[in-house]
Amino acid sequence: MAEVTKTQEQFLADFNWHNYEEGIDPVADAKLEEFEKLVAENFVETADDAVVEGEVVRLTDKEAIIDINAKSEGVISLNEFRYNPDLKVGDRVEVLVDVREDKTGQLVLSHRKARVIKAWDRVNNAHDTGEIVNGFVKCRTKGGMIVDVFGIEAFLPGSQIDVKPIRDYDQYVNKTMEFKVVKINHEFKNVVVSHKALIEADIEVQKKEIIGQLEKGQVLEGVVKNITSYGVFIDLGGVDGLVHITDLSWSRINHPNEVVELDQKLNVVILDFDDKKSRIQLGLKQLNAHPWEALDANLKVGDNVKGKVVVIADYGAFIEVAQGVEGLIHVSEMSWSTHLRSAQDFVKIGDEVEAQILTLDREDRKMSLGIKQLSQDPWTDITAKYPVGSKHTGTVRNFTNFGVFVELEEGIDGLIYISDLSWTKKVKHPSEFVAVGDKLDVVVLELDVEGRKLSLGHKQTQENPWDKYEAEFGLGTVHTAAIDEMVDKGATLKFNDDISAFVPSRHLEKEDGSKLKKGETAEFKVIEFNKDFKRVVASHTAIFREEEQRNVKAATQKASTAEKSTLGDLDALAALKAKMEGK
């Protein structure tokens, strides 16, 4: 090449261009052929759109001067070399002739267009051969990143950046990374690259090695890859395993993020895996001894312990007395009260409580606790606090069909039978008389210490009004009242707010033979009075029947004392008797 260049320079130095153009020195054909040959071998044909290589011969503030062995040197704006801030004189660069000569006769070149043409050739080749290419991550975009590959803007999907989920995309911006060209759309000039594909290839090798060595009980180091509500996925170096939430800690936890965090490195033990070793079950808590084994050996039934409420159910609450060691406080052991209640009435999650150990089974790892045992049983001195006949005020807790349960204090309940609620009202159901939560005055009627039962009465807190009503509405007394209701086999009427009476149908008959109706007012005679059963029976018919009986009696006495009875007298007596008999 040096020899050819010297010959070319010598030829040009010796050639008289002025004489040639003026026609003074004719040029031999041999000389012209030699010159054309030199030009063909050394000069670029700038009419073609071919990409050629040139050398940077000079740099200005704005341009690079490139020698491509053409008739003149070309210029390229430095903006086209922004990706290469280290460009210097002597560097070889690819260029494309953009304008053969501008108005100043200067050759205008384009490095950018040359790069694009060459870039597509390289990208296509990389896609076909699977070659690994370098790319510069320019910026973020929707769904991924924009990567400069050979001067072409390629798309890197977010899912193709890494095998693990990406939380910070900005960490990759302005970095050069290796990629694999995975897709090219020639119609829309789109290129898709992947960094994940390279990692997966490496991981696949590691994965086969790891899977081949897996054994139950083996301890491996892994990285927290993903956290869900049910467990944690651990990357073991290309192989994923799951630590279920129950295998994270001996203590109860609500969510795995209470124990681990993303990207955390930790040791795990292999608990189990399927035949293909594709589903690997891992454990974290198994690396430590079970807390029951570390429980104080001196702890025994009757001892008091402190702990935190970790779980609440209707039947009781679980208390963590040591890390991973729990005891159950049944709701029946939370209070001396015997009526049904829920554990939520006594404790809530997170409460620090003190309790007494009731049972302790180290082999089955079970413990039952009690809270009420820390306070005195209220039935201990029940006879002194609630003797028979004493009066108290309690709270209505609940009903049954036959009575009301009243709480005198925590743990002391008593029953008021429905018949002991009122002296005068006929209560069909306790809800007609009181409501749950009402305060009620009571009297202790009976006390069964061994059976832990109290029989209470409410009506006994007042005098029995039937004692005074016995004299006022006793047997044989007569009262004026109106028929209140017509009922089966008779009617009812009210003498006052407390006293109601029943009138049988046959006792509703009036003197003229008709019967009293609802709303009619008449005189009634009490023919039955029972204060124990609060029963009063009255009769209207008895009012005029007694008068008739008195008249008959008087007439009979008169007839018997008379010396003679006339036929008329006998007729009058017979007529009176027939009237009484309803004839």
Between 122 and 230, the higher pLDDT residue: 230
pLDDT digits 0-9 by tens, 220-243: 888 998 999 999 999 887 788 899
Return the pLDDT at 30: 58
Residue that has been written with the tokens 């609630």 in this structure: 386
The mean pLDDT value for 208-230 works out to 84
Task: Determine which of 34-43, 247-256, 508-517, 539-548 has the lowest per-residue pLDDT on average.
Answer: 34-43
Return the pLDDT at 415: 92
SS (H, E, C) 321-337: EECCEEEEEEHHHCCCC
The mean pLDDT value for 88-104 works out to 75
Return the pLDDT at 451: 81
pLDDT digits 0-9 by tens, 503-531: 998 888 888 888 888 888 888 988 888 87
1 confidence band (pLDDT: 50, 70, 90): very low
Is residue 307 over pLDDT 50?
A: yes
Residue 233: burial class (beta carbons within 10 Å; 0-12, 13-18, 19+): middle
Distance CA 236, CA 220 (A): 7
Token pair belonging to 95: 């260029």
Return the pLDDT at 44: 47
304 confidence band (pLDDT: 50, 70, 90): very high
Average pLDDT for the chain: 80
Q: pTM of the full predicted structure?
A: 0.43
pLDDT digits 0-9 by tens, 384-443: 888 888 999 999 988 888 899 998 888 888 899 988 888 777 788 988 889 988 999 999
pLDDT digits 0-9 by tens, 128-176: 888 888 889 999 888 888 998 887 889 988 888 887 777 788 888 888 8
pLDDT digits 0-9 by tens, 8-62: 555 555 655 555 555 555 555 555 566 555 544 444 444 445 778 888 898 888 8
SS3 category, 449 = coil
Token pair belonging to 152: 């072409």
CA within 13 Å, CB half, 505? 3
SS (H, E, C) 202-229: HHHHHHHHHHHHCCCCCEEEEEEEEECC
Return the pLDDT at 233: 92
Q: Please list the helix, strand and coil fractions of the chain in percent, rounded to the nearest 5, in that order.
A: 30, 35, 35
282 confidence band (pLDDT: 50, 70, 90): very high
Return the pLDDT at 558: 63
Return the pLDDT at 64: 87
Return the pLDDT at 443: 92
pLDDT digits 0-9 by tens, 174-186: 888 888 888 888 7
456 confidence band (pLDDT: 50, 70, 90): very high
